[in-house]
Amino acid sequence: MPDRILVVDDEEAIREIVCAILGAAGYICKQAGSGIEALALLNSGETFELMLSDLMMAELDGIGLLERTKEKFPEMPVVMVTAVHDISVALAAIRNGAYDYLLKPFEREQLLNAARRALENRRLKIENRIYQTELESLVKARTLELQAAVAELKRSYDITLEALGDALDLKDAETVGHSRRVTAFTILIARAMGIASDQIDVIARGAFLHDIGKMAIPDNILLKPGKLNEEERAIMREHCYRGYQMLKKIPFLAEACEIVYSHQEHFDGSGYPRGLRGEEIPIGARIFSVADTLDAIISDRPYRMGRSLAEARKEILAWSGRQFDPEVVKVFMNIPDQIFEDLRREINGHSLPPFPATAIAKSAS
């Protein structure tokens, strides 16, 4: 497609010459005898790759025409044609957005060069804009791909965690489903405490894997039916640190392992392994502690039936400020029974995975 050029001049003779030269060079020209006429042509929807405009015209002059077209047709360069005596006005036109100016009288070559330069500049500008747009959408697409890959990676991590936690539950048949229920209760309380969702994810992983260190405890101690003696109890208590050591090497669990390390601490400092107290204990571990006790009380064991939620609440309240953080207990006490019941039923029916935390949160709300 040859480029179309709009030639605006109030002298017909000049228009004819200019169009003859441009036409011979392969351009398609259209003439306008005034600024007003040019404006009407442009506004009618006809498009031009270039406008050559006389500067001095009655009614609407070159500057006025430029002023009224540059915003609507930003990609159409304007070359001003002017007589020597108004060169300063031509420069002003350039400052106003004209691409170039041509001094009258001009040679054929000067006219063609000016047209070529302006059209080339326009082409480069458009190419650059297309390149920018393509680049932006390319970056956008790549970012989305990357985000999806990261989400997928997180998901596979979580599936691995599930398997790990379930492996422990399988070994210690007495507490089947314990990790899942405790995780769900922990998430529920954490949500009620207004903890941010990315932090809840960390807390959930810590809660789910809290006893993972028990993998390192010999079966004759871990599965011993009777009471543990002093020495056995000491070995059993190592499970917090063992779990912490296992998980801290995994960057994805760097924060969650702190909860594993601290999950047996008591608010008043009487817990183990470090005897942390109050806010020295990570908030996730303080929440876990309530959730863990709750599950232990209400779940059936081979040698006894689970007790009621009301009894669990009474017990937890009695230990508020000693074993448990009073703030956590307060929030826990305000969560309706129904939510705990529903959650427990769903998890025992195995329809609810422990991850992601949002699934549990959704089901509880």
Q: Which residue is nearest to Fe ion (CB)?
A: 211
Q: How far is the CB of 194 from Fe ion (least distance, A)?
A: 26
Q: Which is nearer to Fe ion, 255 or 265 (CB)?
A: 265
Q: Which is nearer to Fe ion, 15 or 266 (CB)?
A: 266
Q: Which is nearer to Fe ion, 100 or 211 (CB)?
A: 211
Q: Which is nearer to Fe ion, 211 or 295 (CB)?
A: 211
Q: How far is the CB of 168 from Fe ion (least distance, A)?
A: 10
Phi (first) and psi of residue 51, to 5 degrees: -125, 125
Q: How far is the CB of 197 from Fe ion (least distance, A)?
A: 26
Residues that bind Fe ion (CB under 5 A): 211
Sign of CA dihedral 111, 114, 117, 121: negative
Q: How far is the CB of 291 from Fe ion (least distance, A)?
A: 12
Q: How far is the CB of 220 from Fe ion (least distance, A)?
A: 18
Phi (first) and psi of residue 45, to 5 degrees: 105, -5
Phi (first) and psi of residue 5, to 5 degrees: -125, 130
Q: How far is the CB of 264 from Fe ion (least distance, A)?
A: 5
Q: How far is the CB of 214 from Fe ion (least distance, A)?
A: 7
Q: Which is nearer to Fe ion, 210 or 344 (CB)?
A: 210
Contacts (Cβ under 8 Å, ≥6 apart) of 71: none
Q: Are 60 and 34 in contact (CB under 8 A)?
A: yes
Q: Which is nearer to Fe ion, 201 or 211 (CB)?
A: 211
Q: How far is the CB of 239 from Fe ion (least distance, A)?
A: 6
Q: Which is nearer to Fe ion, 81 or 207 (CB)?
A: 207
Tell me the CA distances in angstroms from 204 to 5, 94, 356, one per residue in order. Answer: 69, 65, 9
Q: Which is nearer to Fe ion, 214 or 344 (CB)?
A: 214
User: In the chain, what is the straight-line distance between the N-terminal and C-terminal CA atoms, in Å?
Assistant: 63
Distance CA 361, CA 343 (A): 10
